[in-house]
Copies of this chain bind each other. A is one copy, B any other.
């Protein structure tokens, strides 16, 4: 499998696809900024009366359950169903699944009622959705999960599953990949996983293969993280450097890609 990172990034920067986010309050600003820095166009809209209109204008829908409420769940479901009707791909980030029943059940409800294209989470979140026994601490994972969990989720729900961690595992049920890029500094800032979601979603808008788009998003975000970590080890400065480095991704940077596809 040949992935054209730089070619698809160029397409993305040319097309500036509209990425409709229904995401959590904590990361709204940095998610918008990472999306802009990459070259796509973010929009945040969560009100029930407008989510169907907004997703109809968008090239991709990114649902993130990081700060939930009942009203937002209705909007997530309505937006997801309209996205399905309009063939707009959907990325779901089940933040905190496994930590509270409310989050686990909401993630499962979305997976049941909406055709999700890519499901991305950390080990604890993904294991809890796969029905494995897990220990989740807040929204951070304390367990690890391997390619088996990704493949199981991919097959159960008919989607591309992305499990993030020191090594990331991607599976669409038939193909699988491992990405070894990244930096420990991602765990020193809030919202790294959420920003990664924005980056994968942006690639989903220009690459119709969600498996390849997931690898592209992971590699892009994690190489930018590596480059930022080479500039600073301090979390405040790292956050700024990360947004800067996303803007500077280019063909040469992608030589750092550490991906194994099976």
Residues of A within 8 A of B (CB): 18, 20, 24-30, 32-33, 36-37, 41-47, 49-50, 53-54, 57-58, 66-71, 96, 99-103, 137-140, 187-191, 234-237, 239-244, 247-248
Copies of this protein in the complex: 3
Are A18 and B235 neighbours in the complex by a CB distance under 8 Å?
no
Are B138 and A42 neighbours in the complex by a CB distance under 8 Å?
yes
For the A-B complex with A45-B100, A236-B247, A239-B240 known, give 18 more contacts whose Cβ atoms are closer than 8 Å.
A25-B44, A26-B28, A26-B29, A26-B44, A29-B29, A37-B235, A41-B138, A41-B140, A45-B68, A49-B70, A49-B102, A50-B68, A50-B100, A50-B102, A54-B99, A234-B244, A234-B247, A236-B242
| Distance in angstroms between the alpha carbons of A26 and B35 in the assembled complex | 13
Chain B CB within 10 Å, residue with most, of A43, A236, A241, A243: A236
Are A57 and B137 neighbours in the complex by a CB distance under 8 Å?
yes
24 A-B pairs in the complex with CB atoms less than 8 angstroms apart:
A26-B28, A27-B29, A29-B29, A36-B187, A41-B138, A42-B138, A42-B190, A43-B138, A44-B66, A45-B100, A50-B100, A53-B99, A54-B100, A54-B138, A58-B138, A188-B247, A234-B248, A235-B244, A235-B247, A236-B239, A236-B242, A236-B243, A237-B244, A240-B240
Closest to A66 in B: B44
> What's the minimum C-beta distance from A99 to chain B, rounded to whole angstroms?
7
Chain B CB within 10 Å, residue with most, of A43, A96, A188: A43
> What's the minimum C-beta distance from A24 to chain B, rounded to whole angstroms?
7
| Residue in B25, B33, B54, B99 whose beta carbon sits within 8 Å of that of A235 in the complex | B33
Are B27 and A138 neighbours in the complex by a CB distance under 8 Å?
no
